[in-house]
Structure 1
Amino acid sequence: MSISGKIDPVVRPIAATDIAEALVEGLRDFQALPIYGLAFGALYAAGGIGIILCLTALGMAYLAYPLAAGFALMGPFVAIGLYEVSRRRETGQPVSFGAIWSAIRSRSEIGWMAFVALFFFVAWMYQVWLLISLLLGPHASFSSLQEFVTVVLTTSEGRLFLAIGNAVGATLALILFSLTVVSFPLLLDREVDFVTAMVTSVRAVVTSPLPMIGWAAVIVMLLIVSALPYFLGLIVTLPVLGHATWHLYRRIVAPV
């Protein structure tokens, strides 16, 4: 039972073939309604570009890599609109930006899930600052991204910073993935509280650990490759992944 007294959603096991089929279905959704995918993808890419420009203007371009990696943690929240597009296409409902916004706004629990994602982003950036202070010096500052990369790759302290930072980041990303991979689509689909949604999401990962970790790896690799050309690849990658996540959710959580 959920904390609201309702029956908990039923979680079904999945296989690697389900992930492949969900990706195909996600691509079909994007091809059928590209304007929405491109809009949300462009919004996400613009956020990444804006972050880099702000860091450059502030003389903190050396934080581009850790901040860009942390920014990826907000992907599930940005993709909410894409889940709604897939949901409406699936049920034959009309799709418009107004309808998407109304659906998202009517689900108050989504706001709490957004707060969870933001919390992990802040935690990620805090640990980056902490590691820089502990390993590279409390007053460490770099004139350029190139100088920062040189220090990280050519000094023992820098390599330790890179190893620990990536390990902590991977842990945070896996935890957030487990909490959100099913919860955001579930909150759009049903009237459940955000705690039940997170528990259901974790249950989905525990039920099918290898396929779900494989899905997480696919997401990470595609986001990294897409972010390299100044985040522009995200304009296409985010919508395909977003639509695919909805279809994977449909395979994981049994219908009412």
Structure 2
Amino acid sequence: MTGEQGSGTIDGQPVRRPDPTRVNAIGFDAIVDALGAGMRDFRKAPRFGLFFGAVYALGGILVLLTASALHMSYLSYPLAIGFGLIGPFIAVGLYEVSRRLETGEPLGWAGVLGVIWAQRKREIAWMAFVVLFVQIMWMYQVRLLLALFLGFKSFASFGAFVEVVVTTPEGLMFLVIGNAIGAVLSVLLFSLTVVSFPMLLDRDVDFITAMITSVRAVVTSPKPMIGWALVVTATLIVSMLPLFAGLLVALPVLGHTTWHLYRKLVPPAPQEDEAGLQSPTASSASSPAASASPAR
């Protein structure tokens, strides 16, 4: 776990200002535990999970239909993958469901949907901008690679586009480089958002602090976190194949799991006094030994 930052005094006693970006190191067992907890949350509140999964699935279908209607079927693949990048923002409602199940608060549509609406004036709106920015970067690099390797050819159908991509040297080069760049952007986005969205919902911090915490969580536990990223990617790809139908279950389970993973990665906020400084008592309570088992 990272240390504390800053210091001060209260009544002559040394105190430390808590570091809001501190994280716990985790192992693969934490991923398994979080996944089990995510599945339990889905079973406890399936109507909410299915609702958000349906919204996500219908959005993916709309993206594909839009690309087809505009006679740009070759954009179907990057659009579908790019749409998957905004999953963390849509999952805010799922985080709220898990939070309420965790605290014993009542579950209701007004409360769960209202929390998403309430975030428009908070830092989650800025995080949504970050996600969309990365998605736009993804789309522009696809267009650039198309122009470089395939020119500005028009394709009669998505099948014709796939045939050119997998049967020509230029198409294969486009596929390899495009997926390599996409993988880098996906890792970047995953690192920025895996903790930041649930943290912004749970705590009163700015989005920069949330992103730093998220990146620190990945850097502190790289193997488990990259493993989780691969699980998320594989699950989303498989779920998208049957016209996004698999997302009805996959998305809510992944969303609930992310909440519980956040709980394991980010230790509970320490008690602070009115000056925002951590007292010696609270400091000892939040020591590495005391926070070895994060709140669930």
For the criterion TM > 0.5, the same-fold answer is: yes
Output the CA distance in 2 between the equivalents of 1:141 and 1:120: 26
Output the CA distance in 2 between the equivalents of 1:227 and 1:67: 12
Deviations 1:47-84 (A, max 9, x none): 00011111122222221111101111011111111011
* Contact 2:67-2:76 at 8 Å conserved across structures: yes
Where do residues 154-193 of structure 1 align in structure 2 (5 Å cutoff)?
154-193=167-206
In proportion to residue count, which structure has more helix? 1
Question: 1:203 offset after TM fit, Å?
Answer: 0.3
- State the TM-score, normalizing by the size of structure 2: 0.83
SS in 2 for 1:106: helix
Q: 2:131 aligns with which of 113, 117, 121?
A: 117
Partner of 1:57: 69
Partner of 2:238: 225
Question: 1:6 offset after TM fit, Å?
Answer: 6.6
Q: 1:214 aligns with which of 218, 227, 231?
A: 227
* Residue 130, structure 1, aligned to residue 144, structure 2: yes
Question: 1:106 offset after TM fit, Å?
Answer: 3.5
Question: 1:141 offset after TM fit, Å?
Answer: 1.2
Which runs of 5 or more residues in structure 2 are unaligned?
A: 7-16, 270-296
SS in 1 for 2:86: helix
Equivalent residues, number:
253
Output the CA distance in 1 between the equivalents of 2:105 and 2:132: 31
Q: Which has the larger radius of gyration?
A: 2
* Residue 47, structure 1, aligned to residue 66, structure 2: no
* Contact 2:23-2:217 at 8 Å conserved across structures: yes
* Contact 1:19-1:215 at 8 Å conserved across structures: yes
> Aligned Cα RMSD in Å?
1.3
The amino acid that maps onto 1:254 is: P
* Contact 1:110-1:184 at 8 Å conserved across structures: yes
Deviations 1:75-103 (A, max 9, x none): 11111110110001100111122212333
SS in 2 for 1:245: helix
Where do residues 65-144 of structure 1 align in structure 2 (5 Å cutoff)?
65-107=77-119, 108-137=122-151, 139-144=152-157
* Residue 204, structure 1, aligned to residue 203, structure 2: no
Output the CA distance in 1 between the equivalents of 2:39 and 2:254: 8
Q: Comparing both chains, which one has the higher relative contact order based on Cα–Cα distances under 8 Å and sequence gaps of 6 or more?
A: 1
* Contact 1:104-1:110 at 8 Å conserved across structures: no
Which runs of 5 or more residues in structure 1 are unaligned?
A: none
Q: 1:6 to 1:17 in 2, by over 3 A?
A: closer
Deviations 1:127-156 (A, max 9, x none): 00010011101x221111111111101111
| Identity value in percent | 59
Output the CA distance in 1 between the equivalents of 2:246 and 2:193: 23
- State the TM-score, normalizing by the size of structure 1: 0.96
